[in-house]
Amino acid sequence: MATSDIAKPDLAPQGKKRLLWADQDMPVLARIRDRFAREKPLKGLRMSACLHVTAETANLVRTLQAGGADVMLIASNPLSTQDDVAASLVKDYAASVNAIHGEDGITYYKHVAAALEFNPHVTMDDGADLVSAMLFIAHDRLDQLGKSQQPVLDWAKKLTADQRKTRFDSVLGSMEETTTGVIRLRAMEKDGVLKFPVIAVNDAATKHMFDNRYGTGQSTIDGIIRATNSLIAGRKLVVSGYGWCGKGVSLRARGLGANVIVTEVDPIKALEAAMDGFGVLPMADAAKIGDVFITVTGNKHIIRAEHFEAMKDGAMVCNSGHFDVELDLEALDKLTRQKTADVRREVDEYQLRNGKRLYVIGSGRLVNLAAAEGHPPSVMDMSFATQALATEYCVKNKGKLKAAVHKVPIEIEKYVAREKLASMGIAIDTLTKEQEAYLTGWEHGT
């Protein structure tokens, strides 16, 4: 077993309770775990997973281990790690975990280097950080590794140029959990640099339709409430991006009585938001009237200097998109006379030179993970069931999938949906022979 780097090993008993509590609400994953334990489809595999280190992820790790895999888990975000869960995974489940809540950029990439050193056959990413590190190394583009990625650079420099080129030849595939990661991977495929197949788990309906919409929807609002203890009813809440996550956030905020305003760049999504009954405005106008701002676009600098300057005194700003680039916090710093960190846990106060105060929640990082506990287990049950089965599919098809971004097979999605319905006690109809013939032929009707 490889080494671990965690903050608080003593918290293992608390972490175990937490992950077992989540497990009760993850019945589909538990079912897969039972089958994996019998069939061992991942026997002898080394897996490096770069995911949010939470109770739900711990249950995915247990499932992969039941299938026979040796798993190393590292954090995909410095603020989402639950130190007690990390401790339990190491102590109670013999996993290697390299993740510390609040770790700095250098430690983050030290952990990425540990995941590479583990020499995985299969990797999992939430944002494509592992795959991009592997590709920069394999293509000898070391100059493109940023300053905080120094530990990865140091690790790569211990290898010869030939070793770098072939080091990841034994990787048979990778799974990607989030929208931003899939976007990056498609760009890698387009540039012809991908060296192994990648399964876009995010793009499975059993992932984004539920996890991004209901999971991010609920937990983003949960993060804002836990951080600020604000009443949502009656507030003007500005949601940037009306994709799967943005729809979920907008719906849940409306349910709590907020007056929701959407900002978009896609005319179809903007129209959908308008017809769903939300206000739609450009950010320049929304900035003047919003009480709470949430970006969830997967894009950068959605809220910029001119928007911060226009905001009302006391406005709160946060992000639930993957990277901490949606709010231009460098521009905000330049407008600021005085910054007071942690006026509440995960809330920083910015006193602007124009006399107004703004509050940034979760340092501009995923607010649902920084200030709450991320997606609830019931929805991660579907995402991680899809992850586990996609991994099995990737292993079974070793050598047959080309180096490209692949869809999750529809049979996997249907299995996950059927099992989830069954666990909820919901039955549905099946097509009659006559209906099947009607839907597959053209002679009937008119």
Ligand X SMILES: NC(=O)c1ccc[n+]([C@@H]2O[C@H](COP(=O)([O-])OP(=O)(O)OC[C@H]3O[C@@H](n4cnc5c(N)ncnc54)[C@H](O)[C@@H]3O)[C@@H](O)[C@H]2O)c1
Note whether 77 binds ligand X by CB under 6 A: no
**Residue 56: which of 293, 392, 388, 301 has the closest Cα?**
388
Which of 264, 291, 392, 419 is in the footprint of ligand X by CB under 6 A? 264
CA-to-CA separations, 404 to 120, 179, 384, in angstroms, rounded: 19, 16, 22
Which of 76, 107, 132, 320 is in the footprint of ligand X by CB under 6 A? 320
Binding mask 18-57 for ligand X (x = CB under 6 A): ----------------------------------------
Contact 98, 73 (CB under 8 A): yes
Rounded (10°) angle between helices 55-66 and 377-396: 30
**Cα distance between residue 243 and residue 266, in whole Å:** 10
**Cα distance between residue 143 and residue 151, in whole Å:** 13
Tokens of 179: 């929208």
Helices within 94-149 (DSSP H only): 105-117, 129-138
Binding mask 165-184 for ligand X (x = CB under 6 A): -------------xxx----
Note whether 140 binds ligand X by CB under 6 A: no
Least distance CB 215 / ligand X (angstroms): 7
Residue 258 or 380: the one with the smaller Cβ distance to ligand X is: 380
Note whether 296 binds ligand X by CB under 6 A: yes
Q: Tell me which residues in 365-394 interact with ligand X (CB under 6 A).
A: 366, 368
Least distance CB 253 / ligand X (angstroms): 15
- Looking at beta carbons, which residue is closest to ligand X? 243
Note whether 109 binds ligand X by CB under 6 A: no
CA-to-CA separations, 288 to 59, 159, 237, 282, 306, in angstroms, rounded: 44, 54, 12, 11, 10
Residue 109 or 242: the one with the smaller Cβ distance to ligand X is: 242
Least distance CB 241 / ligand X (angstroms): 3
Q: Tell me which residues in 214-253 interact with ligand X (CB under 6 A).
A: 216, 240-246
**Cα distance between residue 42 and residue 28, in whole Å:** 18
Least distance CB 247 / ligand X (angstroms): 8
Least distance CB 328 / ligand X (angstroms): 12
Return the SS3 of 288. helix
**Cα distance between residue 239 and residue 252, in whole Å:** 11
Q: Give the binding site for ligand X (CB under 6 A).
A: 178-180, 208, 212, 216, 240-246, 263-266, 269, 296-299, 302, 320-322, 366, 368
